[in-house]
Amino acid sequence: MARRSRPTYQLPHRKKRRGFGRLFFFVLIGASVYLIWRHEHSLKPARAQLTTVTRNEASKPAVPKAAPPPQPVVVTQQSPSDFPRPIHDVLEAQIALARRGISPGSIDGALGSQTREAISVFQETQDLPVTGELDADTRAKLTLDAPLMATYTVTTNDLDDLQPLGATWLAKSQQTALAYETELELVAEKSHSHPLLIERLNPKVDWQDVTAGTVLQIPDIAYPDADNKAAFVVIHLSDRYLEAFDEQTNLMIHFPCSIAKKVEKRPVGELHVVVIIQNPNYTVDPELFPESSELQAIGHKLILPPGPKNPVGVAWMGLDRPGYGMHGTPNAQEVGRTESHGCFRLANWDAEYLSQLVWVGMPVEVVQ
């Protein structure tokens, strides 16, 4: 087969690109040389200065920057005659939702995931588009019926009841009560609030030296009166919340909750309440805590006294699956964000209220 001869023509656009490429190549080389020269000359003084600073500061210990103080939250004085009215911001929305039994978690004035979930639940109950946002229609229907804040006066009983929390299981078992460690913890739980919000509402208070008679400003939150029992409870594992309904399937409460860390310890299906205990003690079984070297060394069960810092908080509602129940927690801010050994963990204020709604034999449906 005869060899095909190479074409004698070239495409015009290809010829132009080759000429431009040569020009661009030489420009690039020149620019690179200039930038290298400038870089070397500009860095020389900086290097000398850096060396001097390093020698002068080498012997000085690093000083950590102090955390900035929390920014105060200012709530204007309000008269009962100003209400009812629509909410204005996230803090007001959280308080209005909590007063309806739709908990946004610890009140903190931030539009987090639990607050968005609570807003969505309210929107659903009001036949509004479910967005999780404080849009105009939601603000119009989510009204406040009373002033946001109340005053709380620190008492001598408050201060007398405070106790340091033991660092070990054995130390906790030897305490008279697993009480609050600080007045800040106590006041935060009374108002369903994050401790940081309480600090921001009371910026002049020295929380390391609180005295009896100190007047504090706290969110004014009370759940609806528990006049009637709930008909059933539904726990949603994937979204980590618990809801109770009346006989007409009207929503009574919506609370964030924590679930078991291990999937195999998350029971799905119908359970039933078998016992309700207010202010329970807690039995620590080494068999249930194989990861605790302390308990393995002790080798026998310990009984921890009641109190809000008890591992199951201020209320226990046992279920008909051994070792499982709905209960409070010593760390309200972690509810729905951390996981348990298997139980359904609620903020203490939610567990205490739920214990007034449930009854022995009540069905508890656990769904994905």
pLDDT at 203: 96
CA-CA-CA-CA dihedral for 168, 169, 173, 176, to nearest 10: 40
pLDDT at 323: 85
Q: DSSP labels for 230-282?
A: -SEEEEETTTTEEEEE-TT--EEEEEE-B-BSSGGG---EEEEEEEEEES--E
pLDDT at 3: 29
Longest CA–CA separation in the chain, Å:
111
pLDDT at 135: 96
Q: Give the chain's residues under pLDDT 50.
A: 1-28, 33, 36, 39-59
| CATH topology (fold) of 232-279+314-367 | L,D-transpeptidase catalytic domain-like (2.40.440)
pLDDT at 262: 76
Phi, psi values for residue 184, rounded to 5°: -60, -45
pLDDT at 260: 80
CA-CA-CA-CA dihedral for 132, 138, 139, 141, to nearest 10: -140
Q: DSSP labels for 111-122?
A: --HHHHHHHHHH
Average per-residue pLDDT in the chain?
85
- Asked if residue 230 lies in contact with residue 252, where contact means CB atoms within 8 angstroms, the answer is yes
Question: 156-195 burial string, b = 16+ CB within 10 Å, else e?
Answer: eebeeeeeeeeeebeebbebeebbbeebbbbbbbbbbbbb
pLDDT at 261: 78
Measure the CA–CA gap between 233 and 252, rounded to whole angstroms. Answer: 10
> What are the boundaries of each domain within the chain?
80-219, 232-279+314-367
